[in-house]
Amino acid sequence: MSADDSHTGPRGHEESSVSTYVPRYDQNQMLAELEPEAERLLNRHLTMTQEWFPHDYIPYSEGRDFDKDPWTPDQPRLDGVARTAFFVNLLTEDNLPSYHREVYRMFGQTDSAWRNWVHRWTAEEGRHSIVLRDYLVVTRNVDPVALERGRMQVMEDGYETDNKDTLRGMAYVAFQELATRISHRNTGRYSGDPVADRIMARISADENLHMVFYRDILTAAMQVNPSAVVEAVKAEIEDFEMPGAVMDDFRRMSVQIAEAGIYDLRVHHDDILWPLLRHLRLFDATGLDAQAEQAREELGASLSKLDAMATRFEEKRAARRERRAAGGAVTSGTSA
Ligand SMILES: [Fe+2]
Ligand SMILES: [Fe+2]
């Protein structure tokens, strides 16, 4: 894996231990055992979540008709990197039907709190693309034609999790919700636009509660079968992929996002993986069988490798920035 794609996660390891991952537990039994906890966490979620309305966040007074005043590339006020990050974040949210299908397949198939959670979660997620699209279109910060074509492309390609099992699915959504929360929050901050920042803070608060649900259900699963959780988490970390990877041109766009520090491997390692691993107390868990002990050791090695890759990327990026700054100084010196 090169420094250029080191922000997208560890996928691309030379050897994939994931191919050897085989769940060693009964998925239906696991879901049934965790159902009372899912119900408790759903009820807690409903008391913590706040109702909000996308229209309250949009500066509609800035809106103009596109037939009278078509979009032109000079209209956006956000810089190119912020526009790219918004574009990627919105198209990621747009693919909700695919995520719903996957999450429903993994958790929602029995008439239980699980299914109620899946539907509630989907309804909340739906607001995110609504508010992001309204903001970007009203403020003309993206080309609405490119945006619509991008939406068609990602939705036509869809997103699949390759039949993840229950526990690996739980690990996936826990990491994913946290990754989305951090990515939205950092995009808002980077934008320098208070309107955008407020929107992204609002969405991030939702993503945080989603993460907390999945994190806590995974913590409960640790009590049921710690060995199975360790193996699932390891497999997920070693093969983690951002859902935006299905977008045309994702690689180029994610390099820009990493160069700006909005989402890079350091963020992934420090702000996504470790906070969840610490909360799960995965490296302190006792009662693992021999196979899970070995998986945990290998996970420790993978994390150290990721840490080193993150550092390498940061060093190279700092050098690139220095070179650019020096180049800029030379240019302004010559032109003066
Ligand atoms: Fe979302
Ligand atoms: Fe979410």
Shortest-distance ligand to the CA of residue 93: 1
Ligand 2: centre distance to CA 176 (Å): 8
Q: Would you say residue 11 lies in a domain?
A: no
Ligand 2: centre distance to CA 112 (Å): 21
Shortest-distance ligand to the CA of residue 128: 1
pLDDT value of position 244: 86
Tell me which amino acid residue 304 is. S
Q: Would you say residue 263 lies in a domain?
A: yes
Ligand 2: centre distance to CA 210 (Å): 5
Ligand 2: centre distance to CA 206 (Å): 6
Q: Residue 5: name the closest of 252, 190, 172 by CA.
A: 252
Ligand 1: centre distance to CA 276 (Å): 19
Shortest-distance ligand to the CA of residue 176: 2
Q: Would you say residue 8 lies in a domain?
A: no
71 and 143 Cβ atoms separated by less than 8 Å:
yes
Give the count of alpha carbons within 13 A of 25, CB side only: 24
Residues 79-123 have pLDDT tens digits of 999 999 999 999 999 999 999 999 999 998 888 999 999 999 999
Q: Would you say residue 68 lies in a domain?
A: no
Q: Would you say residue 333 lies in a domain?
A: no
DSSP assignment of 102-122: HHHHHH-SSTTHHHHHHHHHH
Shortest-distance ligand to the CA of residue 121: 2
Domain range spanning residue 123? 28-59+73-320
Q: Would you say residue 142 lies in a domain?
A: yes
Ligand 1: centre distance to CA 181 (Å): 8
Ligand 1: centre distance to CA 176 (Å): 10
C-alpha to C-alpha distances, 204 to 57, 59, 139, 198, nearest whole angstrom: 14, 20, 21, 10
pLDDT value of position 303: 97
The CATH number that applies at residue 105 is 1.10.620.20
pLDDT value of position 285: 96
In which residue ranges of the chain is pLDDT below 50?
A: 1-18, 330-336
Shortest-distance ligand to the CA of residue 206: 2
118 and 96 Cβ atoms separated by less than 8 Å:
no
pLDDT value of position 11: 46
The environment of the single-atom ion ligand 2, i.e. residues with CB closer than 5 A, is: 177, 207, 210
Q: Would you say residue 12 lies in a domain?
A: no
Alpha helices in 95-193 (DSSP H): 96-107, 113-138, 144-157, 166-191
Ligand 2: centre distance to CA 174 (Å): 9
Ligand 2: centre distance to CA 160 (Å): 17
Ligand 1: centre distance to CA 222 (Å): 26
Q: In the block, which residue shows the tokens 């390692």?
A: 269
Shortest-distance ligand to the CA of residue 177: 2
Structural domain tally of the chain?
1
pLDDT value of position 174: 97
pLDDT value of position 331: 45
Shortest-distance ligand to the CA of residue 173: 2
C-alpha to C-alpha distances, 321 to 79, 151, 260, nearest whole angstrom: 17, 33, 10
Ligand 2: centre distance to CA 116 (Å): 15
Ligand 1: centre distance to CA 180 (Å): 7
Ligand 1: centre distance to CA 333 (Å): 46
pLDDT value of position 333: 37
Q: Would you say residue 326 lies in a domain?
A: no
Residues 284-297 have pLDDT tens digits of 999 999 999 999 99
Ligand 2: centre distance to CA 142 (Å): 23
Shortest-distance ligand to the CA of residue 126: 1
Shortest-distance ligand to the CA of residue 127: 1
